[in-house]
Amino acid sequence: MNEKNVFINCPFDNSYFKLLKPLLFSLCYIDLNPQISETSDSGEIRLHKIKGLIEDSQYSIHDLSRMEPMKVSELPRFNMPFECGIDFGMKLSNPEEFANKKFLILEKEQYRYQKVISDISGNDIKAHKNDPEQMIKVVRDWFKPTNPGIPRHKEIWLAYNEFEYDYEEILKSEGYDPKDINALTFSDIIENMTAWIEKYKMK
C-alpha cells in the first residue's frame, strides 16, 4: 500500500461535483494522492480496476450520502455502498496485509446511515451536510492526528476559492463548461489542482 494514496468512492455526477472538487483539492493540498477509477470498460474490468486502487491505497474515503433517489422517479444508487463493502471485505479477509488501512465514511447527516447500513457503526463516519467548506473541514480534521503539520481548514478553504475562480476562468476560455464533471478527466483535474497548489504555496 502507498501511504499517500487515498481511494475515493463517491457519486460521479454534476450535482455532486461541488463536493468532489473540494474533496480532491483538500487531499492535494495536504500532499496526498486521490485515486479514482475512470475506466469506461465493462463492469468486471471496472471491478478489477477498483480492487487495484483499493489495494494500493492506505486510506479510503467512502461517501454514502446518496442513499435516497435524486428524483421521485429514480431508484437509489448502490455503487457506493457496494464499493465500500469490497473495501471492508478485503481488509477483514486479510488483516495482516491491510492492518494499516483506514476508512473515512462520509454522509449528509451524522446518524442517517444507521437506518440503512448499521453494520458500519463504530467506524469514522462524518457528515459534510452537502456543504463544500464542511467537506474540506471533515477531510482535513480526519487526517490531522496522523499528519500534525497540515494547515487549518480555513487556509485550505480560502485557497480552494482562489483555485475555483482561476479554474473556472481557464475552462471557460478554452470552451469547457466548468460545472460539467465530464469536461475534463479526473486525472486532468487533479493535475491542474496539484500544479496550482505548488505555485500558490510558493507565493
For every residue of 47-81, DSSP letters joined together read HHHHHHHHHTEEEEEEE----S-SSTTSPPP-HHH
Q: Rounded to whole angstroms, how far apart are CA atoms 48 and 104?
A: 22
129-143 pLDDT, tens per residue?
999 999 999 999 999
**DSSP H helices in 95-152:** 132-143
* Total domains present in the chain: 1
Q: Rounded to whole angstroms, how far apart are CA atoms 95 and 162?
A: 42
Asked whether the beta carbons of 62 and 84 are under 8 A apart, the reply is yes
Q: Residue 43: CB partners within 8 Å, gap ≥ 6?
A: none
Asked whether the beta carbons of 145 and 59 are under 8 A apart, the reply is no
Q: What is the mean pLDDT of the chain?
A: 86
Asked whether the beta carbons of 23 and 32 are under 8 A apart, the reply is no
92-145 pLDDT, tens per residue?
888 888 888 999 999 887 655 454 555 455 556 788 999 999 999 999 999 998
CATH at 182: 3.40.50
pTM of the model: 0.87
Residue 34, domain extent: 2-202
Q: Tell me how long the chain is.
A: 203
List strand residue ranges (DSSP E) for 108-169, in order: 125-127
**DSSP H helices in the chain:** 14-29, 43-55, 79-93, 132-143, 153-173, 186-201
Q: Rounded to whole angstroms, how far apart are CA atoms 51 and 37?
A: 10
Report which residue type is found at 162: E
Give me the pLDDT at residue 119, please.
47
* pLDDT < 70: residue spans in the chain: 39-44, 67-77, 110-124
